[in-house]
């Protein structure tokens, strides 16, 4: 077996909250063949599999994760080409979203703007139909996605965009399996020479408004229809509220930050307290955007 499988791997350095216990079994596949090896390893030992991307939108428990954790941090690759009418990108699931941003910005195309403000990788972007609250086109993953390839039972299956069910922070229809690669494109008719400046300005605005210098998972809660989770939390008087070293950011209330030594249980308790408080004050149930593993 060419793929290295580690035991009792500390997962704190593999997620943006810097929390959580160890993985019983852990690997970092770089190719589809190695991904297949990883799945076979888990199958032979009857281990459950957890896919961990960039770890920018997950909560890993203090007890760690049982079974095999397949981390896609090294599962990278990006190719570009132009047809007569479109700029086309093929990217591996572990490729950072920012790589897509740079590719689109280089061609002066609109997707570069919203992508420049998103953490995480391509696979995670598809799973949650990642996007932004600001009004622009495009502002969600589904708008530029053409197809998604999934590893299932040792085979690569391609799903066209129309075969998937896209909604706010969700993409369904590709499961079960592991997303390994995806195709994206945008019309060359939309070339805009100001895209680079617009993307830089957008990224700066997000940096000014969000605690990007601190360990967080980005937006913790989904915005309720017609409302803002951050505003509801702020109006509940919870900005700066903390449990242990888990704190509601003073910069943006929908961001929960690790002040240094927070535990997963601190964030779980903080999330629960926020949901309870907002429910009591506004009768609105906040749903988490972060995924509990």
| 54 catalytic residue (yes or no) | no
From residue 287, alpha-carbon distances to 35, 55, 217, 223, 278 in Å are 32, 19, 15, 8, 11
Residue 40 falls in the annotated catalytic set: no
Strand partners, 58: 291
- Asked if omega into 176 is within 30° of 0 (cis), the reply is yes
**Interatomic CA distance for residues 75 and 196, integer angstroms:** 27
Closest CA to 93 of 31, 47, 142, 172: 31
H-assigned helices in 210-263: 229-235
The torsion of the CA quartet 260, 114, 131, 281, rounded to 10 degrees, works out to: 60
Phi, psi for 251 (deg, rounded to 5): -90, -40
The upper half-sphere exposure of residue 39, i.e. CA atoms within 13 Å in the direction of its Cβ, equals: 18
The active-site residue out of 16, 219, 236, 249 is: 219
Helix axes of 97-106 and 195-209: crossing angle, nearest 10 degrees: 150
Active site residue 289: yes
Q: Give the active site residue among 16, 169, 236, 249.
A: 169
Catalytic residues: 169, 219, 289
């Amino acid at each position: 077996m060419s793929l290295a499988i580690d035991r009792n791997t500390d997962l704190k350095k593999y997620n943006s909250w810097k929390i959580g216990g160890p993985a019983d079994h852990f690997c970092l596949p770089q190719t589809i063949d190695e991904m297949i090896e990883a799945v076979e390893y888990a199958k032979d030992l009857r281990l459950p599999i957890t896919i961990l991307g960039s770890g920018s939108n997950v909560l890993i428990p203090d007890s760690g994760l049982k079974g095999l954790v397949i981390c896609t941090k090294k599962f990278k690759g990006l190719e570009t080409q132009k047809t007569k009418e479109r700029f086309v990108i093929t990217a591996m699931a572990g490729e950072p979203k920012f790589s897509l941003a740079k590719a689109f910005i280089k061609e002066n195309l609109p997707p570069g703007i919203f992508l420049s403000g998103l953490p995480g990788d391509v696979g995670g972007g598809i799973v949650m139909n990642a996007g932004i609250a600001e009004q622009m086109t495009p502002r969600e993953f589904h708008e530029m996605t053409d197809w998604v390839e999934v590893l299932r039972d040792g085979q690569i299956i391609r799903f066209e965009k129309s075969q998937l069910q896209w909604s706010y922070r969700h993409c369904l229809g590709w499961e079960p399996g592991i997303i390994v690669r995806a195709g994206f494109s945008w019309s060359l008719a939309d070339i805009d020479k100001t895209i680079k400046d617009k993307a830089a300005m957008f990224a700066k605005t997000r940096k000014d408004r969000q605690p990007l210098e601190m360990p967080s998972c980005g937006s913790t809660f989904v915005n309720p229809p017609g409302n803002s989770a951050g505003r509801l939390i702020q109006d509940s008087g919870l900005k700066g509220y903390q449990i242990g070293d888990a704190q509601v950011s003073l910069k943006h209330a929908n961001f929960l930050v690790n002040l240094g030594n927070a535990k997963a249980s601190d964030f779980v308790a903080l999330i629960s307290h926020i949901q309870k408080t907002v429910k009591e004050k506004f009768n609105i149930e906040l749903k988490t955007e972060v995924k509990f593993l």
